[in-house]
Amino acid sequence: MKNLLTVKNLSKKYSNSLKPALTKVDFKISEGEMVAVVGPSGAGKSTLLRCINRLIEPSGGSISFQDKNINLIHGYELRKYRAQIGFIFQNYNLQNRLSVLDNVLTGLLGQRSTIATTLGLWPKKDILMAKNILKDLGLEAYLYKRADMLSGGEQQRVSIARARIQNPKLILADEPVASLDPPTAKKVLEDLKKVCKEDNIAILINLHDVDMALKYADRILGLSSGKKVWDEKVEKTNKESFEKIYLKK
C-alpha cells in the first residue's frame, strides 16, 4: 500500500498548560488504511488529529502528505490541502439551521469559487453528487430537512456525507461515536468502513471503545500522555495490549 501521510517527531505544547500535549509522535498511514487511535482521556488524541490538518499548529516535528511537507503552507495552499482531508467531529458540527443537502454541499467549500458559493450558486453536478452520496448512506428522505431535526446518529452520517463529497484521500474522525448509543455507533462505524474500503480513503479515527477499535481498524495506534506507546497491525493487538496502553503513565 502506498504511503499517504508521514508524521515525524510531532510535538505540541499549549501555552497555558505545564505538560506537553504531544511529545515526539511518529507514525505513517498508507492509502486506504483505517487506523484507530486509542488511549486514555487527555492522551492527546484530539490534538493529534487537529495538528494534521493544522486546525492546531504543531510546536515541533514535521508532517508530510503525499510526500510533500505541509508544515509551512498557508493561505490558498493550506485551504487546498485541507480540502483533501475530511474531518468528522464528535459533536457533528453541522450547520444546524441549514438543510441536510446544504450541509453536505458545504463540504465543497474548499474546492469551489468563493464568489459563486457565497451567492449560493452550486453547479448542478455538485447538487447531484450530494444527493447521490446521501442516497448511498440511506439518508435521502432527509434531503431538505433542517440538520438539527435529525437524531445524533443521522447527523453524524450526514457529516460523513459531507466528508465524502470532498473526495478526500484521508478522513480524520475525532471520537465520532462517543455520544451515540451502541447500535447507532455500529451503523456509523460501518458506514465509515464502507467509505474506506469502497473508495480507498484512509481513515484516522479516535476511539475510546477498544472493542470497536479491534473490530473495524486495520491498525492500532496507542497514545498515552502525549507519547506513542503502541503501533501495530490489528492482528497483533489484543486485550492485553490495551491494558499496557491504558496503564502506562
Question: Exactly one of 13, 30, 71, 98 binds other proteins (CB under 8 A); which one?
Answer: 98
Give the DSSP letter of residue 146: B
Q: Is 108 in the site for other proteins (CB under 8 A)?
A: yes
Closest CA to 47 of 226, 204, 168: 226
**Rounded Cα gap, residues 62 and 24, in angstroms:** 10
Q: For residue 109, give the 3-state DSSP assignment.
A: helix
Beta bridge partners of residue 222, listed in sequence order: 38, 230
Q: Is 97 in the site for other proteins (CB under 8 A)?
A: yes
Q: For residue 36, give the 3-state DSSP assignment.
A: strand
Q: Is 96 in the site for other proteins (CB under 8 A)?
A: yes
CB of 177 to other proteins, least distance (A): 17
Question: Exactly one of 23, 166, 206, 237 binds other proteins (CB under 8 A); which one?
Answer: 166
Q: Is 81 in the site for other proteins (CB under 8 A)?
A: yes
Stretch that binds other proteins, among 7-15, 73-81, 210-218, 226-234 (CB under 8 A): 73-81
Work out whether strand 22-30 and strand 3-12 pair parallel, antiparallel, or are unpaired. Answer: antiparallel
Binding site for other proteins (CB under 8 A): 53, 55, 78-87, 89, 91, 93-98, 102, 106-111, 114, 117-118, 159, 162, 166
